[in-house]
Amino acid sequence: MPHPFPDFCLTGQVTVVTGGGSGIGRALAHTFADAGARVVVLDTNGAAAEQVANEIGSMAQHAVADVSKEDAIERVMKNVARQHGRIDVLFNNAGVNRRNTSFDLTIADWNAVVAVNMTGMFLCARAAARHMRDGGGGRIVNTASILGISGGWYPNIVYQATKGAVVNMTRSWAVEWAPYNIRVNAVAPSIIRTPMTEALTS
């Protein structure tokens, strides 16, 4: 099948895709590799990350890490920068949901979603951006959600709150890191059929 964006060229670029073991991250890892990039597929699910890296072949490698763990993320980004000399692109995409009413959502579930969708997004962006700054620039794309802008799929309080935060973190970084030639954007998908939305789309 011809590539849908033949001019999309990432030849020689070093890219990291968080949540790359499944769904949107997996698709992006393939797309980046098809465009000529070297891809680090990062996921907590090591088997899934390895599987995606194997599907892609020699242009890919996998890294097992939890985006919400500062030490682990610092280590992975440092290893990538050391091995390849730089980090050009971070697709900051790992995300989870615990959908419930506000009356019934436990604090454990609230914290679990905040840890990945907000803190994890911050830790990955910061660690990658430090290397990008030292390397003269880079690109970060954060996966927000249409639910973080206009809401929907109620009740969905913690997901909506954290995805709204991703939108504003993106605005903040876009301004803060522009002087370092680090461009920061977000994508806000609507509903895409993946394991996360299986119950909704099947």
How far lies 40's CA from each of 7, 44, 92, 102, 117, in Å? 22, 13, 12, 37, 20
The active-site residue out of 32, 91, 122, 159 is 159
Interface residues with ligand NAD (CB under 6 A) are 18-19, 21-25, 43-45, 48, 66-68, 93-96, 116, 120, 143, 145, 189, 191-192, 194-197
Residue 96 or 128: the one with the smaller Cβ distance to ligand NAD is: 96
What gap in Å lies between CA 49 and CA 62, rounded to an integer? 6
> Closest separation between CB of residue 176 and ligand NAD, Å?
22
Residue 167 or 191: the one with the smaller Cβ distance to ligand NAD is: 191
Q: How far is CA 82 from the centre of its chain?
A: 21
> Closest separation between CB of residue 144 and ligand NAD, Å?
7
Q: Which two tokens stand for residue 126?
A: 């910061």
Amino acid at 22: S
Residue 24 or 80: the one with the smaller Cβ distance to ligand NAD is: 24
Residue 37 or 73: the one with the smaller Cβ distance to ligand NAD is: 73
Instruction: Check residue 116 and report its DSSP letter.
Output: I
What's the CA angle centered on 59, arms 54 and 62, to 5 degrees?
50
Q: Quick check: is 154 catalytic? A: no
What gap in Å lies between CA 188 and CA 121, rounded to an integer? 14
Residues recognised as catalytic = 159
